[in-house]
Amino acid sequence: MCQGAAQGVARGEAPCARDGFCSLNDLVPGTHCRVARLKGCGAIRQRLLDLGLVNGAEVTVIRAAPLNDPIAIRVGNAVLTVRRAEAATIEVERD
């Protein structure tokens, strides 16, 4: 993690790279972002696409479960829960 990203974490912000892209897994509740791309392949990738996590989709991180997994996100008018491992495959750009 770069130094700037570490400073963002200290202020309670998401640790995104300098280009503004990061994993959905890295975002804190209340963060708004847009899906940039899905990494990975297979059934999990297809499931995420079917749930509406397509390029350009607007996403808001709502909360994390008590043990920090899964996380709740809002995609359009739907609230979804995704595992941290799945969220790590979703690259997003913060608004």
Q: Which residues make beta-bridge pairs with 28?
A: none
The reply to whether 1 falls in a domain is no
Rounded to the nearest integer, the mean pLDDT of the chain is 83
The reply to whether 34 falls in a domain is yes
Token pair of 61, please?
């991180």
User: pLDDT higher for 69 or 18?
Assistant: 69
As a dihedral over the C-alpha atoms of residue 85, residue 89, residue 91, residue 95, rounded to 10 degrees, the angle is -30
Kindly state the DSSP code that residue 25 receives in the 8-state scheme.
G
Residue 26's domain comprises 20-94
| CATH of residue 38 | 2.30.30.90
The reply to whether 4 falls in a domain is no
The reply to whether 2 falls in a domain is no
Alpha-carbon gap, residue 19 to 50, rounded angstroms: 28
Q: pLDDT tens digits for 24-45?
A: 999 999 999 999 999 988 999 9
The reply to whether 3 falls in a domain is no
Say what the pLDDT of residue 66 is: 87
57: phi then psi, degrees, rounded to nearest 5:
-65, 135
Q: pLDDT tens digits for 3-23?
A: 333 333 434 454 565 567 899
Q: What is the pTM of this model?
A: 0.77
Looking at the 3D structure of the chain, how many domains does it have? 1
